A and B are shown apart, each in its own frame.
Chain A
Amino acid sequence: QVVDHYENPRNVGSLDRNAKNVGTGLVGAPACGDVMKLQVEVDENGKIVDARFKTFGCGSAIASSSLATEWVKGKTVDEALKIKNTDIAKELCLPPVKLHCSMLAEDAIKAALADYKLKQDPNKDESEKKA
């Protein structure tokens, strides 16, 4: 599974980060220096209709983010927030030393959804969050 998602990653690419219905999550893993960008496009009904990622790091990180984009598609924002790193790790049979990669993917999902939510809310009190 890991090899498949690594050699044939799904949903690699970018969405327009300036679009109001696109949420962008950019996260890094300081321990191994991996970076992961995950973006979601949400429709008027709060459903995620598209997701893309760009990950620079180990195979497990790439596979985790690839799987994450597959999983969020079709889910509502709230459903997607429930995705846990343990589910990702189990699905990919990640060894213990690579568990942090699935955690990174979970954090990326949350960051993207948080960004999307912030853009929907006109009260911009967290001004240091980039759009």
Chain B
Amino acid sequence: RLQKEQQYSEQHSSWINKAYRTLLSPVSRGLYLLELNGVEPAQETDCDADSVFLTEIMEINEKLAEPKNEDILKEIETLIRAKQEELTKDVTAAFERDDLQEAKKLLAKMKYFANLEDKLKNKKITS
């Protein structure tokens, strides 16, 4: 009986961890909200229709890839944070007026910036 209880606790512990991680980041939180509303997150390739946006992401990636001093990294970090805040506001607004398709589009953009944030963190750790 003790073993069953232990398994039960482990399972629930794991679910709680997963839930906490999901709610912690705005991107995963937003994507989960989409899922709850029956909207699938964007799966198809973004093509040149969003080329201005993709070019911007590409450029930030390229800047990050070069060896950089701390000041420039700070600049890039500030830029990424600003974009993420803006996007978070827009996603919130979209959810509030029930515009799930718009939320989906914006969350896809946020994903690119979340990746950039991770890369930047790794860069700070290794430099």
Contacts and interface: CB of A to CB of B under 8 A. Distances in A.
How many chain B residues sit at the interface, stated as a range, is: 20 to 34
B45 A29 contact: yes
B75 interface: no
A95 interface: no
Interface stretch (B15-23, B49-57, B76-84, B91-99): B49-57
A30 B54 contact: no
Contact of A30 (B41, B52, B55, B58): B41
Contacts of A37: 58
B61 interface: yes
Interface of A: 25-35, 37, 54, 56-57, 100, 103-104, 107, 111, 115, 128-130
19 contacts: A26-B54, A27-B46, A27-B48, A27-B54, A29-B45, A30-B46, A30-B112, A31-B41, A31-B111, A35-B58, A35-B61, A37-B58, A56-B57, A56-B65, A100-B43, A107-B47, A130-B48, A130-B52, A130-B55
